[in-house]
Amino acid sequence: MAQEMRSPIESGCPDAFQYMHPVMRRNYGQWAYHEDPQPGVLVHVANSGEKIWTVRAGTQRILDLYTLRKLCDIGDEYGDGFIHFTIRSNIEYQVADEAKVQPLIDKLLKEGFIVGGTRNSVTMISHTQGWLHCDIPGTDASGVVKSMMDELIHEFTSWEMPNRVHMTTSCCQINCGGQGDIAINVQHTKPPKINHDLVSNVCERPSVVARCPVAAIRPALVNGKPSLEVDEKKCICCGACYPPCPPMQINDAEHSKLAIWVGGNHSNARGVPTFQKLVASGIPNNPPRWPEATAVVKKILKAYKENAKDWERMNDWIERIGWPRFFEVTGLPFTKYHIDNWRGARNSLNASTHIRF
Amino acid sequence: MAKDIHPTPMLDDLENGPWPSFISGIKRLRDKHPEKRINEVANSLLGQLEHSYETRKGYWKGGTVSVYGYGGGIIPRFSEVGDAFPESREFHTLRVQPPAGNFYTTDMLRQLGDSWEKHGSGLVTFHGQTGNIMFIGASTTATQHFFDEINEYGWDLGGAGPCVRTAMSCVGGARCEMSNCNEQGTHRHLVNNFTDDVHRPALPYKFKFKVSGCPNDCQNAIERSDFAVIGTWRDDMKVNQKEFKNYIQKKGRQYIIDNVITRCPTQAISLDDNDNFVVDNHNCVRCMHCLNVMPKALHPGDDKGVTILIGGKRTLKIGDLMGTVVVPFKKLETEEDYESLVEMAEEIIDFWAENGLEHERCGEMIERIGLVNFLEGIGVDVDPNMVKHPRQSSYVRMDGWDEEAEKWFARKREEKQAASA
């Protein structure tokens, strides 16, 4: 049998240069500057004087073949046949002729895609797989993102934010969506419900015990069967035990909530990269439109838009005005849960008299 | 068209609104595609997804699926409600490595789409959070057929499980004036040295490479990768005073003072009385802010290279970690430069494979054993750029002080000699 199988060609990551627009290939590493003629459009000028225009559009990320082919058709007919995807799943067409830019935009809009997501806009929310495909999700990222982007269209297509806004969603506390200026993440609030009949068949118990960040899980005999038990007083309801042991069901229709975090920033611009901080939780996981989560996000965006200075990212703005003021201008409650007690938490406490009045 | 269409009242609501709808896309596969298999898979998938929306629960479980010769690269998904939704009972994702920097021609996208149409569900994402093309929805037998087909024309699986994962690099030199290295070349040199570790998971946990061409770090490398390569430069930034004056002309002097000069984190820039942009390059930390605001006037210098940070990761298990500077500056120009970069990656992965606990990321191991033990393990000398500030606690045994101080002076002498040679 094995002899009949085809051995893989371990070619690894393909060379990108074969798929680059020739203008980009010719001027590789030789770019002089770029300008932003309008939202969703960039023009890069090379030292040689050659120019390349980029048109960026938002898509549904989970692409069906019809949409993929439509995007290719647009690229062939209105672009130069070259496509680049951003890290946030925006599609970008590169064209060498300025005259192609507007017809390309018009066609994309006509076909229902959204042109924008550049500079100081709210760009596409980067997201995870959710109920569509993940094995441990507390929610459906695609649905949350679709619902939010429907309401943030104007912010995607305009330049009205103080600086760029990167949003993310995650369907569990592992947080594959990562850091964002605003992150919408599942937050479990009850310990896992254990199906003791299945644990010994399905789970490697020592690995599950080792996985718990707070050592709240121990092996136990339950109804005469080897299983696991959780010290519910210690349990932080993080769900880390669930991936290695599905009988430790952490997802709960009622008690798996959404939490919102702000101020994550990967860039080194101005300050050093920052992690996001908790600002709101207890938000119902409410498909198909998650209106409560979107309402909080819009409240935060409004406060940021009205109060931050040009070029301040969310974290820069909050650092300048201070957290008390952030809670004041957003109207969000400050609770005991906002005070960190994880390792290193002491570094997050105010050990000074720097207080704004 | 499938004969019994699962009703999807909640999902139908996601067809409204201006943002493109993924539900409408799946429905097109259900209703319009000429092939019955694809109609039925889409129908079944929508049925299960609607069931998730109604009950607020996921119904996929993992398993073990791979292609012949590999141990990873596929995310196996078996439905827990397969009796109700049988056609998508097996719905695996193939993680395929994109070209470095995510460049495609429409021809290549069509070719991939055609292969996927033959074997899979017709759903695809560019790209997942690790950076893979995600071909979502194949049966166990179809995964092999699809892989065999695309592997023949240049595509290979990415990583899944405890292995070296698919890497990422920014648009870089292809279209960005801030590029400080060959991002795509660096990406491929690194990850393609480890194809065996990508395809056959045998490490403590995942290991990710990401390359960003400048400190704006558009690939989120410092926080999201175990091995972050960030382009930077050592000499003076380039200033075009004429273009700078144009910005003053256009935006006003006060705007430039408020938004550029006073935003410098190390007060390394100023505006002189003749409207010149003056830089204290020695104290510039290459944060990129002034370059971002005035891309026509300011540019990275000529002595380009990279900074390497090790150990970034997300929450599981000890909490989020940023990478730590392990190499403040490294040139990446010659073949030898790339070779030594790859050797260093090998050194780090070997040390971590040897010393990391099961399911422990490299950064967590460093947290557990201390940076100094890690550096000694991989043969890298200490450097003050690795810390925000020196030790605060006196509770440490320091009887090797004189030898350590002598090492520092010896190193400085060598550097001086090398510089004058």
pLDDT single digits (tens) B77-89: 999 999 999 999 9
Are B174 and A256 inside 8 Å of each other by CB? Answer: no
> Which of A11, A34, A65 to mutate to probe the B interface, most B CBs <10 Å?
A65
CB contact under 8 A, B220 and A91: no
Q: Which residues of B93-102 are buried (b: 16+ CB within 10 A; e: fewer)?
A: bbbbbbbbbb
| For B45, nearest residue in chain A (alpha carbons) | A132
Cβ atoms of B225 and A93 closer than 8 Å: no
- What is the Cα A2 distance to its own chain's centre? 42
Establish, for the pair of chains A and B, how many residue pairs have beta carbons separated by less than 8 Å.
353
Residue extents of the structural domains in chain A: 17-115, 130-189+253-337, 193-248
Instruction: Evaluate the CA torsion angle A243, A247, A253, A256 in order and state its sign.
Output: negative
CA distance B241 to A334: 48
Instruction: Please state, as a whole number, how many other Cβ atoms lie within 10 Å of the Cβ of residue B272.
Output: 8
Q: Which of residues 29-58 of A touch B (CB under 8 A)?
A: 29-35, 44, 52, 54, 58
Mutate: best of B32, B92, B126, B168, partner A, most A CBs <10 A = B126
Rounded to a whole number of angstroms, the distance from the CA of A216 to the nearest CA of chain B is 13
pLDDT over threshold 90, residue B52: yes
* Contacts with B252 (C-beta within 8 Å, 6 or more apart), sequence order: none
Q: How far apart are CA A256 and CA B213, in angstroms?
A: 39
Q: Which residues from A are below 8 Å from B60, CB to CB? A: 133-135
- Domain A17-115 fold: Alpha-Beta Plaits (3.30.70)
How large a percentage of chain B has pLDDT more than 70?
Answer: 99
Domains of chain B, with CATH numbers?
Answer: 1-158 (3.30.70.2500), 168-231+307-388 (3.30.413.10), 238-299 (3.30.70.20)
Q: How far apart are CA B142 and CA B107, in angstroms?
A: 23
- For B63, the closest chain A residue by CA position comes to A135
Contact across the interface for A8 and B293, Cβ inside 8 Å: no
Is A201's Cβ below 8 Å from some Cβ in B? no
Q: Residues of A with CB below 8 A from B299's CB? A: 32-33
Tell me if chain B has a CB within 8 Å of the CB of A130: yes
Nearby residues of B9 by Cβ (< 8 Å), 6 or more positions away: B50
Q: Do domains A130-189+253-337 and A193-248 have the same CATH topology?
A: no
CB contact (8 A) between residue B105 and residue A251: no
The predicted model gives B336-347 an average pLDDT of 98
Residue B421: predicted pLDDT: 80
Per-residue pLDDT 10s for chain A (357 aa) are: 455 789 999 999 999 999 999 999 999 999 999 999 999 999 999 999 999 999 999 999 999 999 999 999 999 999 999 999 999 999 999 999 999 999 999 999 999 999 999 999 999 999 889 999 999 999 999 999 999 999 999 999 999 999 999 999 999 999 999 999 999 999 999 999 999 999 999 999 999 999 999 999 999 999 999 999 999 999 999 999 999 999 999 999 999 999 999 999 999 999 999 999 999 999 999 999 999 999 999 999 999 999 999 999 999 999 999 999 999 999 999 999 999 999 899 999 999 999 999
What is the model's pLDDT at position B316?
Answer: 87
Question: Given this model, what pLDDT does residue B2 score?
Answer: 46
Query: The tokens of B22 are what?
Result: 């993924």
Contacts of A83 in chain B (CB under 8 A): 103-106, 109
For chain A, positions 56-75, list CB contacts with chain B under 8 A: 58-69, 71-72, 75
**From the CB of residue A254, how many other CB atoms can be counted at a distance below 10 Å?**
10
Partners of A222 in the β-ladder:
A225
Of A131, A153, A342, the CB nearest to B18: A153
Contact B215 A269 (CB under 8 A): yes
Q: Which residue of B has its CA nearest to A211?
A: B317
Whole-number CA gyration radius for chain A: 24
What percent of chain B lies above the pLDDT cut of 90?
97
Structure tokens at B5: 């269409």
Dihedral sign (CA A120, A121, A122, A126):
negative
Question: Residue A278: its chain B contacts at CB < 8 A?
Answer: none
Report yes or no: A210 at the B interface, CB cutoff 8 Å: yes
**Range B53-58 average pLDDT:** 97
Q: Are strands A182-188 and A167-170 parallel, antiparallel or unpaired?
A: parallel
Sheet holding A256-262, edge to edge: A167-170, A182-188, A256-262, A277-283
Phi, psi of A174 (to 5 degrees): -65, -30
**Binary contact (B314, A29; C-beta < 8 A):** no
Residues of A within 8 A of B251 (CB-CB) are none
* pLDDT over 50 at B121, yes or no: yes
Q: Under an 8 A CB cutoff, do B315 and A176 touch?
A: no
Chain A: closest CA distance from residue B404 (Å):
29
What pairs with residue B128 in β-bridges?
Answer: none
Contact B104 A84 (CB under 8 A): yes
Q: Which residues contact B101 (CB under 8 A, 6 or more apart)?
A: A16, A84, B169, B170, B171, B172, B174, B183, B184, B187
Look at the domain A193-248 and name its fold. Alpha-Beta Plaits (3.30.70)
Looking at beta carbons, which pairs linking B76-82 to residues 24 or more positions away fall under 8 Å? Answer: B76/B140, B77/A133, B77/A135, B79/B48, B81/B48, B81/B51
pLDDT of residue A3: 55
- Give the HSE-up count for residue B19: Cα atoms under 13 Å, Cβ half-sphere: 31
CB of A132 less than 8 A from some CB of B: yes
Q: Which of A15, A93, A132, A149 to probe the B interface (max B CBs under 10 A)?
A: A132
A240/B288 CB distance under 8 A: no
Give the minimum alpha-carbon distance from A8 to chain B in angstroms, rounded to a whole number: 7
Q: In what helix (H) or strand (E) does residue A45 lie, and over which residues does it extend?
A: strand A41-46
Please report where in the chains the tokens 């400080």 appear, as a residue: B180
Sign of torsion over alpha carbons B154, B150, B28, B81: negative
| CATH ID of A130-189+253-337, from 1.25.40.10, 2.60.120.260, 3.60.10.10, 3.30.413.10 | 3.30.413.10
* Rounded CA separation B419/B421 (Å): 6
Peptide bond before residue A196 is cis, with ω within 30 degrees of 0:
no
- Contact between chains at B97 and A13 (C-beta distance less than 8 A): yes
Who contacts A155 (Cβ-Cβ below 8 Å, separation ≥6)? A121, A122, A161, A165, A301
Q: Which residue in chain A has the smallest CA separation from B289?
A: A269
